[in-house]
Amino acid sequence: MIIQDQPDVHLTYCLNVHPGEAWEDCFRAIREKTLAVRKRVAPGKPFGLGLRLGDMAVRELSEPGKRDAFRAYLQAEQLYVFTINGFPYGRFHGERVKERVYQPDWRDERRREYTIRIADVLSELMPERTNGSISTVPGTYKAWARNGDDALRMAEYMTACVAHFVELRRRTGREIHLGLEPEPDCFIETTEECVRFFRELLFLRGRDHLARLLSCSTAEAEEHVRRHLGVCLDTAHTAIQFEDLSETLDRYQAEGIRLSKIQLSAALEIANDETGRESLRVFDEPVYLHQVRARGADGRIRAWPDLNEALGELNQEPQGEPVRVHFHVPLFWRGNPPLGTTASCLDDRFMTRLRTGACGHLEIETYTFDVLPEEMKTHDVSESIAREFEWVLGRWAE
């Protein structure tokens, strides 16, 4: 839905909250869940979709018959597509995902080809005069990156996608941009690491690779990279690293890095004491990674790759330190002491920056609904998502 004109700002939610890998599963979720959300938050108005298409679904939707049928459905229901989550390639619900969510990563040509397929589908579905965003893995899982050759290969595969996006724009007039989504324990996990990757790899080595692919000047190639490659800023991921959201926006703007999409999300937060640690145990579940960060009085950040490991060691850390956990919780949830959330990081400064056009694509992303503790699932998923929309719109109006 468009929540602001001049500059245009679109707000949606990510359909990765709904289980399903086949296209028919995705389509059913739109019919049965998304329309219920739209009925509550934007009745009778055009409503944008944040699709999540794994490799199976995007291959199926690449078939002209299915794509044309879906396009007709969009028109009939006043729906439109402007962003796609291209992060999870394979299964994302119902079984152990953990670090497999990053496979194949950007060292693998399958990630490049999958992203190109998503771009082709998006270019066929998105409305005219609307740019399209795709969010993706921030390179690879940090433990898998072996040497500088890996980083160079990732940059070259990403700029190969840019070459395809440039050709799509020339042929169809549709502008598509890819957003790398920094995440704890990934090759790109902090703002500084992201800036360094763009500055040292994408704006130099990647630019030169693109110039060869398109037979253009390096100046033109760099312009293409800056136009079609950017960042998907997930507010929970940024908060987990104890980074200030507004300062992060400023840094990307100063570096000329495009904000492709902002995912509005909140993570868990406690003070490190026995009661706080015990309150986290119910969130230790087997499907997703729940990276943990604790900040000491000296500003030093201690890290754990998953919640179960942190729970075994946090009692050895200084008491009272803030601890943040990569477990997305609904934006409207106020917490339940000693449990809190990082929703407060989406403060007035940050919302003001969004209203002034820092990014035109906003996406609510609380994919963990199915693994939330039962006492937090007091409403069905559609009502929970609608309440998150109402929270965001309320903050926007303030």
Report field, pTM of the whole predicted structure over 0.95? yes
Contact partners, residue 184, CB within 8 Å, separation at least 6 = 237, 240, 241, 291, 293, 303, 326
pLDDT, average across residues 252-264: 98
- Residue 88 pLDDT level (bands cut at 50, 70, 90): very high
Residue 119 has pLDDT above 90, yes or no: yes
What is the model's pLDDT at position 148?
87
Calpha distance 110→127 (Å, rounded): 28
Task: List beta partners, residue 292.
Answer: 304, 325
Residue 147 has pLDDT above 90, yes or no: no
What is the model's pLDDT at position 308?
98
Torsion, Cα 222 228 230 234, to 10 degrees, reads: 180
Cis check for the bond before 330: say yes or no (omega within 30 of 0).
no
Task: List beta partners, residue 133.
Answer: 83, 177
What is the model's pLDDT at position 378?
86
pLDDT, average across residues 42-50: 97
What is the model's pLDDT at position 398?
84
What is the model's pLDDT at position 227?
98
Residue 184 has pLDDT above 90, yes or no: yes
% the chain with pLDDT above 70: 100
E-only strand ranges, 281-321: 292-295, 301-304
Residue 232 has pLDDT above 90, yes or no: yes
- Which structure tokens are listed for 56? 């199976």
What is the model's pLDDT at position 44?
94
The per-residue pLDDT for range 312-344, each reduced to its tens digit, is 999 999 999 999 999 999 999 999 999 999 999
What is the model's pLDDT at position 188?
98
% the chain with pLDDT above 90: 98
Question: Please, what is the average pLDDT of the chain?
Answer: 97
- Residue 36 pLDDT level (bands cut at 50, 70, 90): very high
Calpha distance 34→160 (Å, rounded): 34
What is the model's pLDDT at position 73?
98
Nearest partner of 256 among 289, 282, 223, judged by Cα: 223
What is the DSSP code string of 122-174? HHHHSPTT--EEEEE--SSBGGG--SHHHHHHHHHHHHHHHHHHHHHHHHH--
pLDDT, average across residues 179-202: 98
The per-residue pLDDT for range 150-168, each reduced to its tens digit, is 999 999 999 999 999 999 9
- Residue 50 pLDDT level (bands cut at 50, 70, 90): very high
Domains in the chain with CATH codes: 2-266+345-397 (3.20.20.150)
